[in-house]
Structure 1
Amino acid sequence: MASWNESELVCLWKGIRCGSSPGGKRVTSLELQFCGLAGSISPSLGNLSFLVTLRLSGNQLTGQVPQELGRLSQLQHLNLSNNYLEGHIPETLGSSGSVYKARLKAQSDSDEKLVAVKVINLQDSEALRSFFVECEAIRNLRHRNIIKIITLCSSADSRGNEFNAIVYKYMLNGSLDDWLHHKRDGKNLDLGRRLSIAIDVASALDYIHHHCGTPIVHRDIKPSNVLLDADMVACLGDFGLARFVERNSGDSTQFRGTIGYACPEYGTGNIISKYGDIYSYGILLLEMITERRPTDDMFTDGLSLREYVRRSVPYNAIDVLDERLLVEIEKHDACDKTHIKRTKLECASLMLEVGLLCSEEIPERRMSTRDIINELNGIREMFMQIT
């Protein structure tokens, strides 16, 4: 495998697809599920810099996944399930580094626990800066809805190379983004669960904005940064872009965050503020109920996720609901359960209204975290009356 990308013959092999490029054909897809492969994964796997798809599930592969896998920046599909891999397995590939699933051993094997290890890409100066920002931001945070940090690592590896990593509590149920957009094994978030997650995230924001000593602005609220534990409790993670409000009260900000979720005033150089997080939260809330990303292809020619929802709420909220929520609500269409249908639809509509109020274009018009929590708790009380 060490030289396979140097020959076009490999493009004829079973399970391998090549794309065309100015420099010749390059491997873009490796799909070898259930081929009966066995043995250790070759270190040469790291040469697949143009790989888009990697599926090796169903084989009996062992050994460590090469560190180079974290450099596959174009990778879109990764499936290594059902293998007997050991060591660190990349779970996500990001520009700031790779996140690995690992086990921490205590005094006995029964005390072993799963953790997520974020290894910082030291070739990226911005990633290293984010590492130190995140360390400072989260070291004193203690809240049920903030991802728990086990430890921080800043040392050198066996070759003397600098090594920086953050070890988090492993979140068994992945991210909110997984559940909304990747249809995790056919599982679904019902309306009650989405409401609980929305309250959890709002509680996390209220804590970092008002109750953690020096107020913190997260600046990157989005579904992939909302993680769910074994009990489906939502925790806010990834504080790499966070800022302390008091230290930056007079500073304008370069555009940071994620397109579609970042507030409009950040694009014009306005100062960092809590209002920016509220805007991002509002967009997240709209996405949770509609299952539409703010960057969806349908949002063109001036149409945005917010405008899409605003045109239908409150009177025609049913027109913009996630299809899975629609199925859940419509099943109560029988005569004796129409009140349940009406209540669920009203709850979903009210959540969309909160999202609209949080994502107002003028910052001062946005809701406060305390008002968000009070409003959502009121919706939950209404919801609990029918469950």
Structure 2
Amino acid sequence: MGEPDDLSFVQTLVNCSQLSVLECGSNRFGGSLPRFLGNLSTEITVIDFQQNKITGTIPTELFNLINLQRLGLLDNELTGHLPLEIENLSKLEVFSCSNNHLIGDIPYSLGNLSRLSGLYMHNNSFEGAIPSSIGECTYLLYLSLSENNLSGPVSSHLFHASMLSELYLDQNHLQGVFPVEICQLRNLVVLDITRNAFSGKVPSSLASCIDLLELQMGENFFTGSIPQSFQYLTSIQHLNLSHNRLSGQIPDFLSNFSLLGLDVSFNNLEGEVPRRGVFTNISAVTTLGNKKLCGGIPEIHLPKCSTNTTLARGSKRRGRLSVAVTLIIAVASLVVGVSIISAIYFLMCIRNKKNKLSQGSLLNLKEPFSKVSYNMLLKATDRFSEANLIGAGGFGSVYKGVLDPENSMVVAIKVISLEQKGARKSFMAECEALKNIRHRNLLKIVTACSSTDFQGNDFKALIYEFMPNGNLRQWIHIEQHTKPLSLLQRLKIAIDVACALDYLHNSCDVPIIHCDLKPSNILLDSDMVAHVGDFGLATFHSDARTYNSNSVAVKGTIGYAAPEYGLGSVVSKEGDMYSYGILLIEMMSTIYSTNRMFEGDLDLHKYAKSALSDQLTEIIDPKLFDDNVVASSGSQYVALARYDCYVKCVWSVIDIGVKCSVESPQDRMRIEDTIRGLKITQEMFLKELSVVEAMHF
């Protein structure tokens, strides 16, 4: 093999009119790609020549095969340009030409490949800018442009490809400020921009990409501090900020993450290194090259912190307070005079304002939204300070605020990021969905604001009832709570969410489809009652058919969105049921639906279905047993009986989750049957558990 005429045999296939797949990968074929490839049957959908020794250029005739869905040319020795004629392959879903010697610009026409889901072009010699047109590939999940000679800034238009899950731009010559519009990639799991020339601050908007597992930003020219907003990247496992020009302290919140690797080496960081979490694992953390760091565990051999350094985190705040006190004293005489006048005016206004806030805050959501002003929200959140930031999502940031100081009216204020594509539509969708619905398990909207800020820019915000116990995702995935959710609590939450879904689907005048049901959208009040929130993607059932195959962005989150949505199907009640089924499985297993173990055809549904038959204990969240079973008193027989009781209950819940998330929409469990099944499971669990506990006496 490896001869110039190795591919001559392909000519014998020209007359095969029904040929649909040509797999020639992982051989040692040499020679060049023959031009007569273009004479193969136009019915062909897959051509694979990867991992050979093919040389020469890519023949333009190859792109006559207009029904190609997958074209694999990676791991060869191809040279020359990528022909512009690639735009003819309008049905192409996956294209790979990585690990070759291709040169020139990346064709702008790639943006016309509207069905493209995977584009792999790394390790070539492509140059010039990244075509912004790639952002038009709304189905794109994987984009790899690493190890080329690409240069210039990254266009924010690239992030219009909002389905992107993995983005690799490392080892190029890209430069400029990295676009804050990265927050539009709500499904992003991996971002690698290592070894470029990006400058400016690390974009705090990255905190909106809450599913990030891997963030690689090393060897650039980033300045400023590590953003406080990164505290919401709670899924992160690998974080590399090394070889930049970052300053300030290492945030203590990184100690709370389940990091497997953290590299902040060779920056200008200072202060004390935390001593908890990942910072106790010297093989997982690298802090070299930061001359002003101190403390940490003894094994990292940093100098001891002085008393002033140790107290630095608190002293900065006290320093600011001291300055404020000094200023207050300096102007006290003026304030006294002004305050007397202000107090009189305030007392005159407070009566009217009190009525507006206490009676008018239950919003009749019709434009214009005039119940609260921008200035009121600015004051309620201390000028939208990071200290009051409690969450970040695809279309905005959420702040805790006190809207009515006299009555201590604590609310959650979702400020819409209007510069993001689809944000205005999301705002209106949420208003429409929530204005006429009331249910104990739906997040209560208090009011809304549609106004302008002090610079005259449009400003929109939604004000919700504050949920003091955060969201479900924090409870099942993040080790920040001293006591994990018990099985009974999870069962109750599952029933709460199902009741909310039943109300939306069956009790509204016009059924509402949520479209984005997932743990981060399930909020918990002070009594741990679940409330379904974030209706930014919701649609009325009567409007569902208006969402065609071009409306990918409104169909939910990868891992939770129904598989038929990816094929262009309209949103449906059955789509919500799929999301709910995945939610149930995740609640019992704490396995992310986007876990890297799920490759190829394997997903959380199939994994759980397989576990039901013979390995259920391997999928169950072990924290369900820690306090309730293992540590319980009683005989070994009682302990085994209690354990069996728990396993049977979890098996039943996961079984319902599997039945809700089957591939065929018409075969999925109905919400009414789901509620009935969960309540029966709850009753049986309590009954059997009471019998087991009676064995003590």
1:334 maps onto 2:636 in alignment: yes
Shift of 1:181: 0.9
After superposition, the CA RMSD in angstroms is: 2.6
Match of 1:361 in 2: 663
Contact 2:200 2:221 in 1 (8 A): no
In 2, the alpha carbon distance for the partners of 1:148 and 1:57 equals: 37
In 1, the alpha carbon distance for the partners of 2:537 and 2:486 equals: 31
Q: Secondary structure at the match of 2:412?
A: strand
Matches for 1:1-387 after TM superposition, within 5 Å: 19-21=218-220, 25-27=244-246, 30-31=249-250, 58=314, 61=317, 86-88=382-384, 89-105=388-404, 109=406, 111-249=407-545, 251-253=547-549, 254-255=551-552, 256-327=555-626, 328-331=628-631, 334-385=636-687, 386=689
In 1, the alpha carbon distance for the partners of 2:248 and 2:599 equals: 31
Comparing 144-153 and 243-252, the one that deviates more: 243-252
Distance 1:6-1:200 versus aligned 2 partners, 3 A rule: closer
Return the structure number with greater relative CO, CA threshold 8 A, min gap 6: 1
In 2, the alpha carbon distance for the partners of 1:130 and 1:212 equals: 20
Shift of 1:35: 6.3
Shift of 1:317: 1.7
Q: Secondary structure at the match of 1:20?
A: coil
In 2, the alpha carbon distance for the partners of 1:6 and 1:366 equals: 49
Distance 1:269-1:57 versus aligned 2 partners, 3 A rule: farther
Amino acid at match of 2:608: V
Distance 1:128-1:303 versus aligned 2 partners, 3 A rule: same
Amino acid at match of 1:144: R
In 2, the alpha carbon distance for the partners of 1:6 and 1:293 equals: 33
Shift of 1:365: 0.6
Comparing 166-175 and 177-186, the one that deviates more: 177-186
In 1, the alpha carbon distance for the partners of 2:598 and 2:630 equals: 27
Q: 1:32-66 deviations in whole A, cap 9, x for unaligned?
A: 66969xxxxxxxxxxxxxxxxxxx96455369xxx
Shift of 1:19: 3.8
Contact 1:343 1:382 in 2 (8 A): no
Contact 2:475 2:481 in 1 (8 A): no
In 2, the alpha carbon distance for the partners of 1:323 and 1:262 equals: 27
Q: Secondary structure at the match of 2:481?
A: helix
> How many pairs are equivalent?
330
Amino acid at match of 1:355: G
Contact 1:278 1:366 in 2 (8 A): yes
Shift of 1:310: 1.1
Distance 1:339-1:242 versus aligned 2 partners, 3 A rule: same
Match of 1:11 in 2: none
In 1, the alpha carbon distance for the partners of 2:593 and 2:248 equals: 29
Shift of 1:318: 1.4
Return the TM-score normalized by structure 2: 0.45
In 2, the alpha carbon distance for the partners of 1:284 and 1:59 equals: 43
Match of 2:267 in 1: none
Contact 2:629 2:639 in 1 (8 A): no
Q: Secondary structure at the match of 1:185?
A: coil
Amino acid at match of 1:226: I
In 1, the alpha carbon distance for the partners of 2:467 and 2:200 equals: 40
Shift of 1:121: 0.8
In 2, the alpha carbon distance for the partners of 1:369 and 1:121 equals: 34
Gap regions ≥5 residues in structure 2: 1-198, 202-216, 223-242, 253-269, 273-311, 322-380, 691-697
Q: 1:48-106 deviations in whole A, cap 9, x for unaligned?
A: xxxxxxxx96455369xxxxxxxxxxxxxxxxxxxxx9453222233311111111216
Q: 1:209-256 deviations in whole A, cap 9, x for unaligned?
A: 010111010010100000100000000000000010112246535322
Contact 1:329 1:345 in 2 (8 A): no
In 2, the alpha carbon distance for the partners of 1:277 and 1:116 equals: 25
Percent of residue pairs identical: 40
Distance 1:229-1:59 versus aligned 2 partners, 3 A rule: farther
In 2, the alpha carbon distance for the partners of 1:175 and 1:117 equals: 15
In 2, the alpha carbon distance for the partners of 1:117 and 1:250 equals: 30
Q: Secondary structure at the match of 2:611?
A: coil
Contact 1:217 1:273 in 2 (8 A): yes
Contact 2:497 2:531 in 1 (8 A): yes
Gap regions ≥5 residues in structure 1: 8-17, 37-55, 64-84
Return the TM-score normalized by structure 1: 0.79
Contact 1:19 1:26 in 2 (8 A): no
